[in-house]
Amino acid sequence: MSTILSTGFRSEALIFSKILTVDQTDLTITVTYRAYSENNKLDGGFIVGFLPFYRIAPDGYSAGPGMGYSSVTELSGEVNSIVYKLSAGGIKDAQLGIGFDFGGNFSTTQTGSGGNVIVTPNSICLRGPANTYSFITSTANLSTSAFLTPFTLFSPNSSAVTTKDARIRITDFGKRAIVDLREAVQEKYYNYINTELPTAITTCSRFYIGFTCENTAQRFEIENVNINGYDVSVNYSISGAYYMGLSSSISTSYPVSALLLQEGDYILIENYFGQPSTYSTLYSTYSSLGKLILADNDSGTPYVADDDYILITYKDCD
């Protein structure tokens, strides 16, 4: 099935620079959010994606059914009634994607490998590591009688928006994922996913929260992200020139402090899919993960202009 993106397509990600371990304690991530549409139409959804510790931020492309995580086959984009072929190979080295799927396409065969033939809106789906992003499991529509406590991932309309909590627990040394949901006003969570993973995530991991949709009237607001886990220290070492804000003529002994990003800094990424240059700016709307934000007080040098790299030394993370 072909996926054609419209120029209303949006995709953004919140990136956390903390490195968290799963061998000393369970990792629990709770996302408090609101999702609704001003025209009562919702598609896409949001993803909590896990990366190995050496991936500072998501790298690669995903769009549409891939929901900011997995590869998408037969992907194209339409600009001024002209359809162009796009490429979405997925986020490199990704380990686990937990998709909160408003539209229902993340669990289908349109993305990654394996999946359902039928679209299931208002569902949760787990996909495995790159490069196959294989289908692990998915739920039925959460609002149906298949569940003792039916749940809707989004607010049906903009006149009655409610705040919701999605809680993810990674346990059994990175080998099991548990997903609980509740309305923020409820006292207790209800469980909707409890599954053993085919492959454990790495002992030291990072995570990001991505959101994608095509409806320009759609709203996704993160009120809070609570992380309960074991944090691992990190030190950066510059390997070469051509880093952010530097040219190759600047010595590698240049003060490291001049390279650091601070809390709240962001970079707006404009992805180019190999289209004619005339259309390159238009295709920036298809940016796979648009806004990268350092979400804590740790500074770093994660963005490199070419193939230079960053050496990373971790404590308690051999």
Per-residue pLDDT of the chain (318 residues; tens, 9 = 90+): 678 877 667 777 787 777 888 887 899 999 998 888 887 788 889 999 999 988 877 888 888 899 989 998 888 877 777 777 777 888 889 999 999 999 999 999 999 999 999 999 999 999 999 999 999 999 999 999 999 999 999 998 788 899 999 999 999 999 999 999 999 999 999 999 999 999 999 988 989 888 888 777 788 888 888 888 887 755 544 444 433 333 333 333 333 333 444 445 444 433 333 443 333 343 344 333 433 333 343 444 444 444 444 444 444 444
User: pTM (2 decimals)?
Assistant: 0.78
Beta-carbon neighbour count of residue 225 at 10 Å? 16
Structure tokens at 1: 């099935």
Q: What are the chain's domains?
A: 3-232+263-298 (2.60.120.200), 233-261+303-318 (no CATH)
Phi, psi of 137, deg, nearest 5: -165, 160
Q: Are strands 27-37 and 310-314 parallel, antiparallel or unpaired?
A: unpaired
| Two tokens, residue 289 | 């993960």
Sign (positive/negative) of CA torsion 235, 238, 239, 242? positive
Distance, in Å, from the CA atom of 73 to the CA atom of 94, rounded to the nearest integer, reads 18
Look at strands 3-5 and 75-79 and give their pairing.
parallel
Burial of 255 (0-12, 13-18, 19+ CB in 10 A): exposed
The dihedral region occupied by 7, where left means phi > 0, alpha psi between -120 and 50, and beta the remainder, is alpha
What is the rounded distance in angstroms from the CA atom of residue 119 to the CA atom of residue 122?
10
Residue 108 and residue 219: Cα distance in Å, rounded?
A: 24
Among candidate residues 48, 21, 51, the one with its CA nearest the CA of residue 229:
21
CA 244/CA 87 separation, integer angstroms: 26
Question: What is the CB neighbour count within 10 angstroms for residue 4?
Answer: 14
